[in-house]
Amino acid sequence: MKTANGNTSVMDMFEKGKVLKICAPMVRYSKLAFRSLVRKYNCDICFTPMIVAADFLRSIKARDSEFTTNERDRPLIVQFAAHDAQSLADAACAVAPFSDGVDLNCGCPQRWAMSAGYGACLINKPELVKDMVRHVRNQVDNPNYTASIKIRIHKDLKQTVDLCQKAESAGVSWITVHGRTTEERHQPVHYDAIKTIKDSVSVPVIANGDIKYLRDVESTHELTGVDGVMAARGLLANPAMFAGYEDTPLQCIWDWVDIAVEQGTPFTCFHHHLIYMLERVSSQPERKVFNSLSSTSAVIDYLQNTYGSVNDLRT
């Protein structure tokens, strides 16, 4: 669905009863090559990695390295870190011709982000978030362009509900909820909190956290009533997860090789993705050998010798 032409909107994808499957913003990882891969395996919407809006606006080099796309990379949401409304709106206007919406990061718990006024500290500034959403809405010259937010939850859920309702009043398109507080990392996801938020707003809500298999998409939907589910680490481990594969299939591994070679993906990124993909399907001695490889050709030789080529899949 090519939605960047201004005629249709990502919002049309939120059909009643359908649970959208979304690739999360992941620093260093949810770049064009990886987005191209997951789109082959039933991913409905992809997010870019988080981009600092002020840096993006200040530097051509930052724009070129942080934001790469192509005409098949749709629907695409660009996620920004920002702490003032005009920077976010300016960044949104810059990427609007090449994307379908922007998302404001209100969930990153890393110390550097919060000390700079970005990320999860914004969940405690509902009026600022409201202003930022309104600025994007008013300044991007495309009524179908979306403005969403991605948040974490408060210990006092009333504060989170207030934040979401304020964002809704400013015209937010949808809200993604990572069902943990800023302090929590690997603790269980608070599905009850996500359900409370879903029940408190009329815009679509996306659930994020601990989605590792396709069955988790359905169970999360049943627990919370959300309109979509976003995965991060689950997709890194198995980019074909949304297509129902329990582990990364060989076809997907070779698809990644083809895409990465075609797009000129730097070796470190190419290799890291394969390390994630092979983790559940390889033994520790195999991983030790694979992790030490240092060139694309060595990786391709190893994959062919250990797992076989794509042609072997067809015999």
H or E segment to which residue 188 belongs: none
Sign of CA dihedral 283, 287, 288, 289: positive
Peptide bond into 97 cis (omega under 30): no
Count, in order, helices (H) and strands (E) of the chain. Answer: 15, 9
Give the single-character DSSP code of 206: E
Rounded distance between C-alpha atoms, residue 229 and residue 217, angstroms: 6
Task: Give the single-character DSSP code of 98.
Answer: G
Write the CB contacts of 16 (distance below 8 Å, at least 6 apart in sequence).
none
DSSP3 helix / strand / coil % (the chain, rounded to 5): 50, 15, 40
Output phi, psi for 76, to 5 deg: -130, 130
List the catalytic residue out of 108, 121, 164, 252. Answer: 108
Question: Is residue 189 a contact partner of residue 209, using CB atoms and an 8 Å limit?
Answer: yes
CB-based contact 23:231 (threshold 8 Å): yes
Q: Is 108 a catalytic residue?
A: yes
Cα distance between residue 181 and residue 155, in whole Å? 7
- Is 218 within 8 Å of 276 (Cβ atoms)? no
Positions marked catalytic? 108
